[in-house]
Amino acid sequence: MIKGNGIEIENVVTSPAMHSSLHGPSVGGRYVNSNGTEVIGYCTHIQDLDAIFVSEIQTSEVMKPLIAVMWRVTLIILIAIIIGFAIFYLLLKKSLKPIQTLTKAVEAAAAGDLSIRVRTEGKDQIAKLASNFNYMIARLEESIRELRAVEEKERRLIEKANDAFLITDDLGNILRTNPKALELWGYTEHQVRNMTVFELFTEQSARDFSKYFRTLSKKQSSSIVELNALKSNNQSFSVEINSIALGDGTYLSIIRDMSEKRKLEQELIQAQKLESVGTLAAGVAHDFDNILVGVLGAASYLKSLEGLGETEIEMLNVIEDSAKRAAGLVKQLMAFARQDTPNRERMGVDELIEDVVRLLSRGLGEDIELIIRRSNELPEVYIDPIQIKQTLFNICLNARDAMPEGGNLTIEINPVELDQLFVQTHPNLKAGQYVQITVADNGVGMTEEQLARIFEPFYTTKPAGKGTGLGLAVSYGIIEAHGGIVTVDSQPGVGTAFHIFLPAQVGGVHDEEAEKPYVLVITKDNTTVKLLRLALGSKQYKSVFSSDIHEAQQKPEIKDRVELVFVGAETLDDDPVGTLREIKSLCDRAGIFILGEFPQRVSTTLVDGSVRDRYDVTSIIAIVRRYMGFGKSPR
């Protein structure tokens, strides 16, 4: 029922909006109508008609197009969001791909693969970053390649070095070695890795090296010390050590074997001793030889005189024999001093050894067995056979005396090739082919002290009266004069081995004899001819004798090969100036000396001097030596 303004209406379906409009102003908006349906309506009371005007539409009908629009907008927004996300994802993926590629490249480079490169496109920051990355990796790869090359060079240098390398920690534990160190000490690499550096030296040297090592670790400075090292077989040897701190708690020691240097120093001292004694011996021998030449010349001259009795001739023969024996001793001294020119010839060593064996067969004794070993193919040698036989005989006799209870005497001959390394420690030698003759015994041997003096003149290990001490010294001089060398190995109680190295003749021999200069003697005095032929021959000078200049001009062998001319004063009587000029023309390089009284008409510019006493052999030989040396011209 609706009541209002005196009106009552029954059985009318009403709504709260209608009631509100009946009692008040109009009502409009969204509300629930009388049917319980949500509507959007408008209610107003029209008083003139005393009626209520109601206009309603269901909310659902009103919202349908709006909802449809909202759904469309929502769908559009959703699609836009999806498209936006898709575009964002694609853009993000595109921008992240080079970063991911760059990240993978960095990871690969960190793992050690420096061959990887990143493709660069565009000019954005990532492209620049990739380009810089590629440049960095290229530089790093180049640096590592250079570093590896340096390390490889260093490794080869250390492995091929002639010095030993040891790397140790601050406690002296050996961390690394090179092959030379293992060779030097005789250990394996595994053995050395479990050792300290101090175990490589003798007891005293280990203490010294420990002090040196402590000083090095404090001062971080390098210095050189010389110590005695100890091989794996307990054999000691001298080494020179230079150690430096590497800065990472490790130390590098460069160790040089000084054994060869010490041996070379001893050989040099020995050579200097021999040279000093040789100089003294040569001086004595020359003076004594000049005296003997005069004695022999005078004896020869006296024997040529007529009217001598048997007693006089016999006494002159005694003088000659004694002088010749003395000349033999002088020859030995000159051989030791290397002042005596060898009479060399090309020959096989087999022939030489056979002669020595024949000589030894009568002097060795039954308790010594002679063993000969030789190679099937031996080159020839260019030697003075008498001198080399003397050398071998001396050495073999020494070997015999070293075996008083008997034993084996072995002579071994082999061809050898001496390389530059061997020659460096023996300056007298040249690299090339040699014949090695080894004379070995199993006798008493020698101590190091005896071995150091074995080639000294007048030094002998034999009892007093049993040896002169000249045999080995002379042998040493002979072999050196032949361009060879003698080395010795010996141990007490084991035996001694002498090694003789003589240059092999594998090609043609340089004919030294053919190139020797001549002494020309022009004289009519037969005594002068005999005296000078004897004197010059004993000194092994080549000489030509003529009675006058015309005879000398007929000797083709002397052209351009005469170094010295002696002219008898008697050959200058007719035309001294003309004769001397002819001699000058024939022998333009020669020195000219007059034997006898100097002619007054001769200018001193035509001659170099004179010997007033033509029988003064000492003065004549002195002139020959001054101009020609010992068979060689100084000009």
pLDDT at 314 over 70: yes
**CATH of segment(s) 345-505:** 3.30.565.10
pLDDT at 548 over 90: no
**Neighbour-count burial of 205, counting CB atoms closer than 10 A to its CB (0-12 exposed, 13-18 middle, 19+ buried):** buried
> CA-to-CA distance for 86 and 26, rounded, in angstroms?
54
> CA-to-CA distance for 261 and 265, rounded, in angstroms?
6
pLDDT (tens digit, 9 = 90+) per residue, 25-78?
A: 677 777 777 777 788 787 887 777 777 777 777 777 777 887 888 888 888 998
Amino acid identity for residue 631 in this structure: G
Minimum mean pLDDT range among 74-78, 324-328, 425-429, 456-460:
456-460
**CATH of segment(s) 161-257:** 3.30.450.20
Contacts 24+ apart (CB under 8 A), 480-487: 480/338, 480/428, 481/335, 481/338, 481/340, 481/342, 481/387, 482/342, 482/344, 482/382, 482/383, 482/384, 482/387, 482/388, 483/428, 483/429, 483/430, 484/428, 484/429, 484/434, 485/426, 485/428, 485/429, 486/455
Tokens representing 215 are 């000083």
Model confidence at 476, pLDDT cuts 50, 70, 90, reads confident
pLDDT at 2 over 60: no
Give the phi and the psi of residue 41 in degrees, each rounded to 5: -145, 180
Q: What is the pLDDT of residue 286?
A: 63
pLDDT (tens digit, 9 = 90+) per residue, 138-189?
A: 788 788 888 888 888 877 877 777 888 888 888 888 888 888 888 889 888 8
Model confidence at 434, pLDDT cuts 50, 70, 90, reads very high
DSSP, res 599: P
Beta-bridge partner residues of 254: 165, 242
**CATH of segment(s) 516-628:** 3.40.50.2300
Q: What is the pLDDT of residue 630?
A: 46
pLDDT at 438 over 90: yes
Domain ranges, ordered by start, for the chain: 1-88, 161-257, 262-336, 345-505, 516-628
Q: What is the pLDDT of residue 590?
A: 84
CB within 8 Å of 324: residues ≥ 6 apart: 296
Q: N- to C-terminal Cα distance for the chain?
A: 170
Amino acid identity for residue 511 in this structure: D
Q: What is the pLDDT of residue 629?
A: 58
Q: How far is CA 425 from the centre of its chain?
A: 12
Helix, strand, or coil (residue 147): helix
**Neighbour-count burial of 477, counting CB atoms closer than 10 A to its CB (0-12 exposed, 13-18 middle, 19+ buried):** buried
> CA-to-CA distance for 529 and 544, rounded, in angstroms?
10
CB within 8 Å of 205: residues ≥ 6 apart: 227, 228, 229
The mean per-residue pLDDT over the stretch 312-327 comes to 80
**Are the C-beta atoms of residues 296 and 324 closer than 8 Å to each other?**
yes
Q: What is the pLDDT of residue 1?
A: 47
Q: How far is CA 434 from the centre of its chain?
A: 22
What value does the mean pLDDT of the chain take?
77
Helix, strand, or coil (residue 240): strand
In CATH terms, the fold of domain 262-336 is Helix Hairpins (1.10.287)
> CA-to-CA distance for 573 and 543, rounded, in angstroms?
24
Q: What is the pLDDT of residue 500?
A: 92
> CA-to-CA distance for 267 and 425, rounded, in angstroms?
9
Among left, alpha and beta (phi > 0; psi -120 to 50; other), residue 298 is alpha
